[in-house]
Amino acid sequence: MARGRRALEAIDGAAGQAVIDALADISPDFADYLFEFPFGDIYSRPGLARRDREVSTIAALAAMGTAQPQLKIHIAAGLNVGLSREEITEILMQMAVYAGFPAALNGLFAAKEVFASRDAEKIEARP
Amino acid sequence: MARGRRALEAIDGAAGQAVIDALADISPDFADYLFEFPFGDIYSRPGLARRDREVSTIAALAAMGTAQPQLKIHIAAGLNVGLSREEITEILMQMAVYAGFPAALNGLFAAKEVFASRDAEKIEARP
Amino acid sequence: MARGRRALEAIDGAAGQAVIDALADISPDFADYLFEFPFGDIYSRPGLARRDREVSTIAALAAMGTAQPQLKIHIAAGLNVGLSREEITEILMQMAVYAGFPAALNGLFAAKEVFASRDAEKIEARP
Amino acid sequence: MARGRRALEAIDGAAGQAVIDALADISPDFADYLFEFPFGDIYSRPGLARRDREVSTIAALAAMGTAQPQLKIHIAAGLNVGLSREEITEILMQMAVYAGFPAALNGLFAAKEVFASRDAEKIEARP
Amino acid sequence: MARGRRALEAIDGAAGQAVIDALADISPDFADYLFEFPFGDIYSRPGLARRDREVSTIAALAAMGTAQPQLKIHIAAGLNVGLSREEITEILMQMAVYAGFPAALNGLFAAKEVFASRDAEKIEARP
Amino acid sequence: MARGRRALEAIDGAAGQAVIDALADISPDFADYLFEFPFGDIYSRPGLARRDREVSTIAALAAMGTAQPQLKIHIAAGLNVGLSREEITEILMQMAVYAGFPAALNGLFAAKEVFASRDAEKIEARP
């Protein structure tokens, strides 16, 4: 679980912590499972690069179209592990082929929000 | 369209050609669109490596769970563009987190079929 | 329910009856609901032409991708209410835009089966 | 692409243009693909009436339930190509049969918004 | 239909009535079908306890992930027919296994809203 | 993990073991995760009766429509933990309301297979 906690922090940063906090009064055990299975078990496995894991997750969540909050968290996580904005945009565009144009469009608009919020943070962080 | 035809051949090989052939008597125009948009336009774009495109597609199709024939074609395509069996297996396992254990299991069983068929081809190809 | 029974017969013919028969030993009441709600209530409403109802159903089932047996029944039903093979093919191709190329391909291959089975019936019916 | 641009304008009007504009700073190429494939290729094909194309799209998007913004655009587009409010309502009600009552309800509430916004435009347009 | 009306009232209370009211100006017939089929036919059948019916519905809607408004209504309905908050939370957590962690998380956050709104009602109802 | 192994055995019996065996040559680690998270963590939690857990899973898998092999395993598991055939049939019929008639029909046909296979086992087991 400690391994999962470190993995979550490295990948999702503040957004991941916000999810954990929001679970505190409804299901704190579920937060433990999040540390344990996705982050402790899966993301810590050596067989696939962390960057490839985020490519997979962004593609999957955009294709499913039922998890916009999680898609935004993983677009941000993708930037954190070194994907460029262009690469993320390409992944989302490609989803038009496999899940239809609306899935791609809704993914692109999610990315637009995440990118804008990163730009705003940079401006605020200026001295 | 010529660019798409070359991309399809490089990525999907015989399996892609079989899809095109199967369309001949119901919708030959749709085969043209397959060359034109997914392969001619999307897969030929420079902003994302072909390997990353296959990671995205394998993840998306496994998560959706409604396209087993296409998932098998893209697991084979993933091998063609340099993904290892281990990497493909990791992508599919990770889908348990985002789309549930049945999606991951059905993806792993699709991979098992593709890997077995590759092994059989190798045995047949021996002198 | 009598109205639903007549509607089912007119639209789905033998394939619809086969579904009803298959329900006999597991849930005969569900067969009644099929007569009552989809066919008795919805398909008997005057506000939309029967042809438009089949266009809607073919599009929806192909886009969802989780109901291949029902999609085949409604492709056949579409032919029964006057849709041409070309029109059905166009509806299915269009689903590539909204639900992705695999959904369209799997729909087209379902149509191919239905059309082939119609052709076989015609040959058998020859004197 | 020019053909696609004209088709988009005729079908989706201002709402389609808003989508194109929103793509400008994240993925202008994707706007080109929207003109090229869905509108330039698919909607411009002669084998299915434009009215039937909108029937198909409204049904598919309501059944999928993952594309509310696009569903609203196509309900408006349906009115533009001659579908009556009653016909659109019937298509959406019918989705209860194939995708469940929640899909139908969420589709009907989307239609309610589009119809109300049309009524508001008419009132504003009065001299 | 009278039976359905009573079932709806017992299960969904004010939230169900709000849905019926919202349908009044777009499709009053669809409100009748809601009384007739889901509530008059299905929920009134003796073969499954009402509590089990709500367990089924909460699980299904959370797994599908396309019907958040209806999921909230049925979480409230679950409380009305005797499910504890803990039981509802467990059902939603379990959906992580079958439909992925995002489906479970989005279900848990829906439950959090419903539980908070119940707490607020209790505070307001104090003398 | 030992707890998960016992839970799996109690619930899924031979069918669960077959899944574990099938994973041996592609991803034995994934079999461990199946023991650990769904069965060791979730199914062993005290807050929801095992019977309710199977009601939830049958409903969810039937509604999703993308996991027929797993649905069959859980229909059998439902019988193992005390659900009657009638109760399972009612859960599946109810899915017509939330996920559409095709989802309910495909679920009922899955149940029909499981029930028939149970009947065949009983006949074979006769002295």
What does the pLDDT look like over B47-91, one tens digit per residue? 999 999 999 999 999 999 999 999 999 999 999 999 999 999 999
pLDDT band at D111 (very low <50, low <70, confident <90, very high): very high
**Cross-chain CB nearest to F59 (options E37, E59, E86):** E59
Predicted pLDDT of residue B3: 82
Of A80-89, E2-11, F113-122, give the lowest mean pLDDT range: E2-11
Q: Do B98 and E100 touch (CB under 8 A)?
A: yes
Strands (E), F11-78: none
Contact check, Cβ <8 Å, D57/C94: yes
Q: F1: pLDDT confidence band, cut at 50, 70 and 90? A: confident
pLDDT band at E12 (very low <50, low <70, confident <90, very high): confident
Give residue C1's pLDDT: 73
Residue of chain F whose Cα is closest to the Cα of C57: F102
Tokens standing for residue C106: 């799997």
Question: Is A66 in contact with E103 (CB distance < 8 Å)?
Answer: yes
Closest alpha carbon to A63 in C86, D66, B4, C120:
D66
Q: Which chains are adjacent to chain A, needing at least 3 Cβ pairs under 8 Å?
A: B, C, D, E, F
Q: Which residues of C lie closer than 8 Å to F, measured between beta carbons?
A: 19, 22-23, 25-27, 29-30, 33-34, 38, 61, 64, 66-67, 69-70
Report helix, strand or coil for D82: coil
By CA distance, what is E37's nearest residue in C? C37
Which amino acid is it at E114? Answer: V
CA-based end-to-end distance of chain D: 38
Give F67-96 pLDDT, tens digit per residue. Answer: 999 999 999 999 999 999 999 999 999 999
Question: What pLDDT score was predicted for residue B48?
Answer: 97
User: Closest approach of chain C CAs to the CA of D124, in angstroms?
Assistant: 29
Chain E residues in contact with chain F using a Cβ-Cβ cutoff of 8 Å: 37-38, 42, 45, 47-48, 52-53, 55-64, 67, 70, 86-87, 89-91, 93-99
Average pLDDT of chain C, as a whole number: 92
pLDDT value of residue A11: 74
Q: F43-49, long-range: CB within 8 Å, 24+ apart, which pairs?
A: F43/F4, F43/F7, F43/F11, F44/F3, F44/F4, F44/F7, F45/A29, F45/E90, F45/E93, F47/E86, F47/E87, F47/E89, F47/E90, F48/E86, F48/E87, F48/E90, F48/E91, F48/E94
**CA-CA distances (angstroms) from residue F96 to C30, E42, F59?**
10, 9, 11
Q: Hey, are the CB atoms on E33 and D103 less than 8 Å from each other?
A: no
CA distances from B96 to A40, E41, E56, E97 (A): 14, 36, 22, 7
State the Cα–Cα distance between residues C63 and C98, nearest whole angstrom.
7
More confident residue, A13 or E113: E113
Q: What residues contact D47, with CB distance under 8 A and at least 6 apart?
A: C86, C87, C89, C90
B112: chain F residues, CB-CB within 8 Å: 22, 25-26
Inter-chain CB proximity C27 and F89 less than 8 Å: yes
Give the residue, A124 or C33, on which the prediction is more confident.
Answer: C33
Residue D9, pLDDT above cutoff 80: no
Q: What is the predicted ipTM?
A: 0.93
Residue in B closest to E102 by C-alpha: B98
